[in-house]
Amino acid sequence: MKTVDLDESGRVLDGGHPVPVHRLDDHFAEALRPPPGTTDIVLYVHGWQTGPEAAERAAGRLLALVAEQYRRHPDLYPALAPWAPWPVLVRWPSRSGPLRGGYRRIRDRAHALSGADGHAGRVIGSLLGYLDAGRGDPRSPVLAGRDGQYLHLVGHSFGCRVLCEAVQWAAQERGTLGWSRPGPTHLPFTVDSMLLLQMAAPRDAFAETFTALAEAPLRGPLVATYTQRDWATGFWHRVAERRAGIGSQGIGTAPQPVSAIRMLAPDTPYPPSALDHWFVSVDAGAVFVNGRGPAGAHSDHLRPESAHLLLSLAGHSR
Task: Look at the chain and report how many structural domains it folds into.
Answer: 1
Range of the domain at 30: 2-316
Is 192 in contact with 220 (CB distance < 8 Å)?
yes
CATH of the domain at 288: 3.40.50
How far apart, in Å, do the first and last CA atoms of the chain sit?
A: 24
d(CA 114, CA 148): 25
d(CA 176, CA 216): 6
d(CA 35, CA 164): 26
Q: Provide the 8-state DSSP code for 140.
A: -
Instruction: Look over the chain and give the mean of its residue pLDDT values, rounded to a whole number.
Output: 86
Enumerate residues 6+ apart whose C-beta is below 8 A from 8. Answer: 93, 109
Per-residue pLDDT of the chain in tens (318 residues, 90 and over written 9): 999 999 999 999 999 999 998 898 889 888 888 888 899 999 999 998 899 999 999 999 999 999 999 999 999 999 998 999 999 999 999 988 777 888 888 889 988 998 778 999 889 888 877 665 443 333 333 334 555 688 899 999 999 999 998 888 876 643 444 455 444 444 445 788 999 999 999 999 999 999 878 666 677 889 999 999 998 888 877 777 888 899 999 999 998 899 999 999 999 999 999 999 989 999 999 999 998 788 899 999 999 999 999 999 999 988
d(CA 240, CA 179): 35
Is 27 in contact with 5 (CB distance < 8 Å)?
no
Strands laid side by side in the 222-226 sheet? 17-18, 12-14, 2-6, 85-91, 40-45, 150-156, 193-197, 222-226, 279-283, 258-262
pTM for the complete prediction? 0.90
> CA 305, 308, 313: angle at the middle one, nearest 5?
130
Q: Are strands 258-262 and 193-197 parallel, antiparallel or unpaired?
A: unpaired
Residue 225, classed as helix, strand or coil, is strand
Q: How far is CA 156 from the centre of its chain?
A: 8
Q: Provide the 8-state DSSP code for 186.
A: T
E strand or H helix that includes residue 13: strand 12-14
Write the DSSP assignment of 14-45 as a string of letters.
ETTEEPPGGGHHHHHHHHTPPPTT--EEEEEE
d(CA 309, CA 261): 12
The tens digit of pLDDT for each residue in 228-276 reads: 999 888 887 777 788 889 999 999 999 889 999 999 999 999 999 999 9
Is 47 in contact with 200 (CB distance < 8 Å)?
yes
